[in-house]
Amino acid sequence: MDIKIEKQDNKTIVVLNGRVDTTNADQFQQDMEPLMEGENPDIEIDCTDMSYTSSQGLRIFLMLQKSVNARKGKMVLRNMNPQVKEVFDITGFSNIITIM
């Protein structure tokens, strides 16, 4: 998968491209870890080109969400395709993560 991270004003924009699965979940976690600390907690994730996420991927989104909540910020996932959205729905993650 391909990850682009961009700092914009006081929020971070992440663009995900491809699959999040067993083979690259660790890498995804490492890339996201810097976003789980610091003064500007707001994160916007563009999921237009994310084709799949495994439970490990869900766990990382959850970790992000928890760190954002702890710093009283906001995290938004945008343009998620229906198959991926379904995973978030089934697992109930849609209840705790904002998907627009």
Partner 1 sequence: MEYRSFSSRLSWRIIGIVSVIFLISFIVVAIVSHLTITEEAVRSTRYILHGTVNEIEKPLTEVEISTKMVGAYMTPVIDNPEMLQMIASRTVELSDLIVGCAIIFVHPDGSCDTSRKSEFSYMGEGTAQKFVPNSQQLHQIVKRWAEKPVANKDGSWTPPIPAPYNPSVVITTYCYPLVDSALNVYAIVATDLPIGWMQDKVENLRPYENAITTLFFDEEHVLGIKESDSDLVKRFVRALEEDKEYDNMVSDLRENKDSLRRRVGKGGETSIMAYAPLHNGWMISILCPYRDVLRQSSRSHVSLMIVGIIGLFILFFTCRREIRRMTRPVTELAVSAQNMARGNFNAKLPEITSHDEMLRLHDSFLYMQDSLNDYIGQLKTTRNDKARMESELDVARNIQKGMLSTEFPPNLHAMLTPAREVGGDLYAFMQDGDQLSFSIGDVSGKGVPAALTMAVTCTAIRVVSNSKQSFGEPLDKLVSRINHIVTITNSNNMFVTLFTGRINLKTRRMDFCNAGHNSLVILPPAGKPYFLKAKANLTVGLFDDFPYVPESIDLEPGTRIVAYTDGVTEAENADKELYGDDRLLETVSQLAPEMDDKAAVEYIYQSVSDFADGNPQNDDITIMCIRI
Q: Which two tokens stand for residue 6?
A: 């961009």
Please, which residue, 11 or 59, has the CB nearer to partner 1? 59
CB of 96 to partner 1, least distance (A): 6
Q: Where do contacts with partner 1 occur on this chain (CB under 8 A)?
A: 22, 25, 55-56, 58-59, 62-63, 66, 89-96
Cα→Cα distances 3→14, 15, 16, 17, 92, Å: 7, 6, 5, 6, 25
Instruction: Extract the tokens encoding 80.
Output: 């998620």
CB of 59 to partner 1, least distance (A): 5
User: At its nearest, how many Å lie between partner 1 and the CB of residue 6?
Assistant: 25
Bridge partner residues of 78 (DSSP): 46
